[in-house]
Amino acid sequence: MMGLLRAISGLIAWAVAFSAIYGLQGLGCALGWDRVMIGPLQLGRTLLIVLWLAFVAVQAWMIWHFTHHPRGSVFLNRLTVAVAVVGWVATIYTGVPVVLASMCF
């Protein structure tokens, strides 16, 4: 069971990232962080971008870790790495709006 849990951890990481980013966006808008400026940057958007990049980095590390520390059967290892890559791509892809879209509008 731990092997299976490890295999899906890449997408669990995506789920956490997605919820955290969506939650921070909602919270930031509720607290008016889109109107607080630090220099030329919106506070809310800056925090969102930092959070997004942090998750991208952590998930990239996960891919590296799973490739270099195989455990259990060949099938499960391949699945683990593949799911980690899917999760990483998903975090990048679904996070793109933090740079592209209007934050609270």
Partner 1 sequence: MKALRLHRAFEAIWGTPRGWRGTVCSVNHSTLGIRLMVTAFAFFLIGGVLAMLIRAQLATPHSAFVGPEAYAQLFTMHGSIMMFLFAIPMFEGFAIYMLPKMLGTRDFAFPRLTAYGWWCYLFGGSMLLVAMLAGLAPDAGWFMYTPLSSKPYSPGINSDFWLLGITFVEISAIVTAVDIVVTILKMRAPGMSLDKMPLFAWYMLVTTMMMLVGFPPLILGSILLELERAFGWPFFDVTRGGDSLLWQHLFWLFGHPEVYIIFLPAAGAVSTILPVMARTAILGYGWIVGAVIALGFLSFGLWVHHMFTVGIPHMALAFFSAASTLVAIPTGVQIFAWLGTLWAGRPQMKMPMLYLIGFFIVFVMGGLTGVMVAVVPFDWQAHDSAFVTAHLHYVLFGGFVFPMLAAAYYWLAHFTGRQYQYRLGVSAFWLILIGFNLTFLQMHIVGLLGQARRIETYPAEIGWTAYNLVSSIGGFILAFGIGLFLIDILLQFFHAPKSKRNPWSAGTLEWGMTMPPPSYNIASIPHVEGREPLHDRPDLALSLARGEGYLGEPRNGWRETLAVGTSSGKLDHIVVLPGNTTLPIWTAAVTGSFFLLMLLKLYWLTPLPLLALVAMAWRWAWLLGRKEDVGALPIGHAQSAPTHAEVQDPPGWWGSIFLLTADGTFFVSLLFGYAFLWTVAPAWPPPQLFDGGVLSLVTGVGATALAVIGARVASRRLQRGNGAGGGMVLIGLVLLIAALSMAILGAPSPTEHAYNAVVAVLLAYAVFHAAIALLMQVFVVLRARAGFLSARRSAELRIAQLWTDYAAGSAAIVLLAIYVPALTA
Partner 2 sequence: MDPAGPSAEAINSIWWAMLAGAAAIFLLVGGLLAWAFVRRGDGTVSARTWIVGGGLIFPTVVLLMLLAYGLVIGERLLPRSGPDVVEVEARSSRWQWTFHHRRADGSVLSTPGVLHIPAGRPVDVVLTTQDVIHAFWVPRLAGKMDAIPGHRNVLRIEAGAPGTHPGICAEYCGIGHARHSFRVVVHDEAGWARFLAGEGA
Which residues of this protein are in contact with partner 1, per CB under 8 A?
Answer: 1, 3-4, 7-8, 11-12, 14-15, 18, 21-23, 25-27, 29-30, 72-73, 75-76, 78-79, 82-83, 86-87, 90, 93-98, 100-105
56 and 93 in contact (C-beta within 8 Å)? no
Tell the smallest beta-carbon distance from residue 105 to partner 2 (Å): 6
**What are the residues whose beta carbons fall under 8 Å from the beta carbon of 104, sequence distance 6 or more?**
28, 29, 34, 44
Give the three-class secondary structure for 57. helix
Distance CA 59, CA 91 (A): 9
Q: Is position 41 an interface residue for partner 2 (rule: CB under 8 A)? A: no
86 and 59 in contact (C-beta within 8 Å)? no
Nearer to partner 2, 6 or 79 (CB): 79
Nearer to partner 2, 64 or 93 (CB): 93
Q: Which residues bind partner 2 (CB under 8 A)?
A: 93, 96-97, 100-102, 105
